[in-house]
């Protein structure tokens, strides 16, 4: 099973930045892509300040912080992700935009690289239609906010996801210090399917 050493994160927002922070802090070379230079600079600043706070709280050594920051790269060109072992998308929850990104990634990453989406609600099988023959390497990897604190990661198979991709993604989540939860590609996956009835009951009680 091919080991992941370099992670690409698409999206420098709150979720993407959190995923990148965890990846770099757990020993992975990490490339953060965003088309907006201001978003990348904000992400870079956030990483430095968040890791510095961990050092202040004695949850990380200054040497570990320096190493983690050294593993992070920030890029405005998607082409810079050509050498990653997994690309984790963490952009706006819009299926058409995600599909456009994954179509480009699939044309770049033609080996055994994993294509993963952090979507919390969009069908993995539907998103995988954008990657053609790479659908077996497509999977959901749903982190929870705030990523550096929340341990759970839903690992969601699409109809075409192969067993090797699932095993590699679970192993990666564990290597990142997370607790992987395999889930089927159903509306809401696991967490939201549990949460929504609770919200409905609370609403009925309030009414």
Q: Is 80 exposed, middle or buried (0-12, 13-18, 19+ CB in 10 A)?
A: middle
Instruction: Report helix, strand or coil for 154.
Output: strand
**Helix axes of 62-70 and 37-56: crossing angle, nearest 10 degrees:** 160
The residue annotated as part of the active site, out of 47, 137, 142, 178, is: 142
φ/ψ (deg, to 5) at 99: -60, -40
Active site residue 142: yes
Q: Is the peptide bond before 146 cis (omega within 30 degrees of 0)?
A: yes
User: Annotated catalytic sites, by residue?
Assistant: 142
């Amino acid at each position: 099973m091919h080991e992941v050493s370099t992670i690409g994160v698409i999206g420098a927002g709150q979720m993407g930045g959190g995923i990148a922070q965890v990846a770099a802090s757990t020993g992975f070379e990490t490339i953060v892509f965003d088309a907006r230079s201001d978003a990348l600079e904000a992400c870079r600043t956030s990483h430095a300040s968040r890791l510095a706070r961990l050092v202040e709280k004695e949850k990380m050594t200054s040497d570990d912080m320096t190493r983690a920051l050294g593993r992070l790269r920030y890029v405005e060109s998607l082409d810079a992700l050509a050498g990653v072992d997994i690309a984790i998308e963490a952009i706006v929850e819009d299926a058409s935009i995600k599909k456009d990104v994954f179509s480009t990634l699939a044309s770049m990453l033609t080996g055994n690289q994993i294509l993963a989406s952090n979507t919390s609600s969009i069908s993995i099988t539907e998103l995988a239609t954008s990657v053609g023959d790479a659908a077996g390497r497509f999977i959901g990897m749903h982190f929870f906010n705030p990523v550096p604190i929340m341990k759970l990661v839903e690992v969601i198979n699409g109809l075409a996801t192969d067993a090797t991709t699932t095993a590699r993604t679970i192993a990666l989540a564990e290597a990142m210090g997370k607790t992987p939860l395999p889930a089927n590609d159903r509306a809401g996956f696991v967490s939201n399917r549990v949460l929504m009835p609770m919200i409905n009951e609370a609403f009925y009680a309030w009414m």
